[in-house]
Amino acid sequence: MEKNNKKAIFASGCFWGTQYYFSKAKGVVSARAGYIGGQLKNPTYEQVSTGKTGHVEAVEVEYDPKITNYENLAKLFFETHDPTQKNGQGPDIGSQYLSKIFYGNQEEKEIAERLIKILKDKGMDISTKIEKAGEFFPAEGYHQNYYDKKGEFPYCHIYRKLF
């Protein structure tokens, strides 16, 4: 990671679609699919997919703060999934597909809380949880940049303007 770049971690269902949108955002240097929030060190996809490890599928976004900022990325997070779905995302059901923001500092936490308040004030019943970031474990290679490799477009994640 470049010394001036920053990282952000978002979970919005299947990490393939989340990674797809973040990897194409202006100012994003890289987006890695992986796992966060559970009890196991270096979990595998097979372990996480049971829904019993406590991990969620997430994306670690490295970005250049001279080009974009955390708030822009958090808005993209909300605008590319359904933050009102409580038990997963689209057809992907289970605790490993929950909507979560993993903050790295107080400023990121406050931005996430403010954006949730804006959406709630618009009448949305937001289910997104905000948690302090723990250790992020990159997913297996075959999960990285899945849609770009397949030449396909995400089916669970659709962009829609909310802010």
**Residues with a known catalytic role:** 14
Pairing of strands 137-138, 28-36: antiparallel
Distance CA 80, CA 77 (A): 6
What are the distances in angstroms from CA 135 to CA 24, 55, 122? 24, 11, 33
Task: Identify the structural domains of the chain with CATH numbers, from first to last.
Answer: 6-150 (3.30.1060.10)
Mean pLDDT of all residues in 21-27:
97
Q: What's the pLDDT tens digit per position in 130-143?
A: 999 999 999 999 89
Place of tokens 């470049």: 2
pLDDT band at 153 (very low <50, low <70, confident <90, very high): confident
Q: How many residues comprise the chain?
A: 163
Number of other residues whose CB lies within 10 A of the CB of residue 140: 11
